[in-house]
Amino acid sequence: MNIWLASGNAHKKLELEAIFRTKGCDRDTVIRVPADAGIDSFDPPETGSSFVENALIKARSLYRILKEKQPSSFRDPVLADDSGLCVEALEGRPGIFSARYGAEDGRKLEAAERNALLLEELAARLESLPPEKQNRKAHFVCAMVLYYSQERFFIAQETFEGELVDTIGSGRGSGGFGYDPILYIPSLGRTAAELSEDEKNAVSHRGKAGKAIAGFLASR
């Protein structure tokens, strides 16, 4: 069975492949990306007001494109997710705008630039708060959709709790991507970027949501 991932992000594809393997999905299950269907550019406008809404936008968009290519024979499900980092002291920002945080004139910042900017904003915010409200708590959110049709889809949403490091120089680790180097996990004593693939998939937002979806597929 093919599962079409509504993303060209190679990191997401690798993570999901590993998650699906550990949950006992059919060995013939193959995760494919838009480029595998000759779709050179897939970047639908994320106009939703929540992670779930944006995940559904991506799933529906790719499903529609693939259905148009194979109007009578397309039966594969589409997998889409939307994820981001929510910082408590910033009232949940950047949230659904995590990938576009700090973007100007259409240019997205590189991950290191976004991370530095977020830590600077948090520092400025904490200075304006009374001591009892100052904290660096943050969590990742992942909403994942397995989409079969307009009337039939399954959703899992999970979180990954931690706290932001003090400065960009305190960020550690070369694994993962995005905000991983600056999210410290107190219970593990490491940042998300310092976790091995198996460790991260066991506790991360995408790992837990992916396992819920993969468990559903394995039980069918």
Please identify every residue annotated as catalytic: 82
On whether the CB atoms of residues 136 and 89 are closer than 8 A, the answer is yes
Strand order in the sheet with 30-32: 30-32, 2-5, 78-87, 137-149, 152-164, 183-185, 190-191
